[in-house]
Amino acid sequence: MIRKVLIAAGIAAVVTVGGSLIHPLRMPGAPGNGHTILREAQIDPDTLAILQRACQNCHSQNTEWPWYSRVAPVSWLLAGDVQQARLHMNLSQWQDYSVDDRVRLLSEIGSAVRNRKMPVQRYLLLHPEARLTDMERQQIYRWTRTERGRLSLRPIPTASRLLRASLLPSHRGM
Overall average pLDDT of the 164-173 stretch: 55
According to the model, what pLDDT value does residue 173 have? 47
Residue count of the chain, please give it: 174
According to the model, what pLDDT value does residue 19 have? 63
Q: How far is CA 168 from CA 88, 124, 130, 162, 171, in A?
A: 40, 57, 54, 10, 9
**Amino acid found at 148:** R
> Is residue 45 pLDDT above 70, yes or no?
yes
> Is residue 174 pLDDT above 50, yes or no?
no
Alpha-carbon radius of gyration of the chain: 23
Q: What is the mean pLDDT of the chain?
A: 85
Taking the C-alpha atoms of residue 89 and residue 59, their distance in angstroms, rounded to an integer, is: 6
> Is residue 61 pLDDT above 80, yes or no?
yes
pTM of the model: 0.74
**Which among 23, 26, 28, 60 has a CA at the least distance from the CA of 41?**
60
Taking the C-alpha atoms of residue 51 and residue 62, their distance in angstroms, rounded to an integer, is: 12
CB 60 within 8 A of CB 90: yes
CB 159 within 8 A of CB 100: no
Residues 31-42: tens digit of each pLDDT: 555 789 999 999
Residues 83-98: tens digit of each pLDDT: 999 999 999 999 999 9
Taking the C-alpha atoms of residue 37 and residue 116, their distance in angstroms, rounded to an integer, is: 22
107 or 69, which is more confident?
Answer: 107
According to the model, what pLDDT value does residue 168 have? 56
Concatenated DSSP letters for 106-132? HHHHHHHHHTT-SS-HHHHHH-GGG--
